[in-house]
């Protein structure tokens, strides 16, 4: 009995040591105020997005929660207002799985909001199925919807410099592969879903890089962010058998949404990181990515194809 108790104590002590020194991540220590600034956070009704929106609201920003579900977003607005003491937190409808909805959101925002200083492209999905436009969900939501949104809002960002674009990527970009003959690969099941998700996050990383190249000299900067592995409501999209495996692991070893939001917050508020525009950040510092995620020629080609798919080309 004593041996069992000692062994349990050692295991718990090791877990605490590993979690708080490695898994928990690094907090953003900047105290930068955002009073007078306007921010959009996509998917901000829960998880990483809500944690990010709450932090920006506490810094005094006007925060737009760009979310698909009004029923889920309005309680988040109320909660963020209450916790931050900032009433400049509002909901605007945005469904990234519909390019029509993205265009409607951008039109409404540009007509009603005169400023935009921060665009946090946070929303993401690993679910299977197709968007309203026939794209697989990961490509359509994680990349293409945000690609269109960013381009539609670029002029407003340029008018409100200095401004920043933060694109939530993931370490899973490492596994991403680009097949230019078929960027919109359909698929069913966990393996196909992971493949499409990894591919979409590789495109997010390349998007931040190409965006920085195109915005050079404008005082608008962009950053790709790996939030760490975070235990969020995204787990609800997994099948039952996979949940039985991943939920306990996520609960024990993944970051909380607040911990996971720290690097996105860092890239939104930290002074002096403008020279790292287009780079990939994790644990509140710039990180070197694998060669296939820093190939400018590939990034440019992904951009050009995304333009056509999103209906941005004039020719």
Q: Which residues are catalytic?
A: 197
Give, in degrees to the nearest 5, the angle at Cα 103 between 99 and 105.
115
**Cα 132 from Cα 101, distance rounded (Å):** 10
Burial of 200 (0-12, 13-18, 19+ CB in 10 A): buried
Could you tell me which residues come within 8 angstroms of residue 35 by beta carbon, excluding any fewer than 6 positions away?
59, 60, 61
Q: Say how many C-beta atoms besides its own lie within 10 A of residue 245's C-beta.
A: 10
Q: Which of 191, 67, 66, 64 is nearest to 138 (CA)?
A: 191
Phi, psi of 94 (to 5 degrees): -150, 120
Residue 237: Cβ within 10 Å count: 14
Residue linked to tokens 């969020």: 232
Structure-token pair, residue 105: 């959101």
Helix residue ranges, H only, 135-189: 137, 146-159
Interhelix angle 262-269/47-58, rounded to 10 degrees, is 40
Residues with Cβ within 8 Å of 177's Cβ and at least 6 positions away in sequence, in order, are 198, 199, 202, 292
CA 47 to chain centre: 11
Residues 292, 294, 297, CA angle at the centre, nearest 5°?
85
E-state strands within 195-242:
220-226
């Amino acid at each position: 009995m004593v041996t069992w108790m000692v062994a349990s104590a050692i295991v718990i002590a090791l877990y605490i040591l590993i979690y708080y020194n490695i898994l928990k991540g690094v907090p953003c220590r900047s105290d930068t105020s955002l009073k007078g600034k306007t921010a959009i956070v996509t998917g901000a009704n829960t998880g990483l997005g809500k944690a990010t929106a709450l932090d920006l609201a506490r810094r005094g920003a006007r925060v737009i929660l760009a979310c698909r579900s009004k029923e889920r977003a309005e309680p988040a607005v109320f909660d963020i207002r209450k916790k931050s003491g900032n009433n400049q937190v509002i909901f605007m409808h945005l469904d990234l799985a519909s390019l029509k909805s993205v265009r409607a959101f951008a039109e409404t925002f540009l007509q009603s909001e005169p400023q935009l200083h921060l665009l946090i492209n946070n929303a993401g999905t690993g679910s299977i199925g197709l968007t309203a436009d026939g794209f697989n969900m990961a490509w359509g939501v994680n990349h293409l919807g945000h690609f269109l949104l960013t381009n539609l809002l670029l002029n407003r960002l340029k008018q409100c410099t200095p401004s920043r674009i933060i694109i939530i990527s993931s370490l899973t970009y490492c596994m991403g592969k680009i097949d230019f003959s078929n960027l919109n690969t359909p698929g069913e099941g966990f393996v196909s879903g992971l493949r499409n998700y990894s591919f979409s996050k590789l495109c997010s990383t390349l998007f931040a890089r190409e965006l920085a190249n195109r915005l050079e000299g404008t005082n608008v900067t962009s950053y790709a962010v790996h939030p760490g592995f975070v235990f969020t409501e995204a787990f609800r999209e997994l099948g039952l058998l996979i949940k039985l495996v991943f939920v306990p692991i996520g609960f024990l070893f993944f970051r909380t949404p607040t911990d996971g939001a720290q690097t996105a917050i860092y890239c939104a508020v930290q002074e002096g990181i403008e020279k790292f525009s287009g780079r990939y950040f994790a644990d509140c510092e710039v990180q070197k990515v694998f060669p296939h995620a820093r190939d400018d020629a590939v990034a440019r080609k992904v951009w050009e194809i995304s333009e056509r798919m999103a209906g941005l080309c004039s020719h």
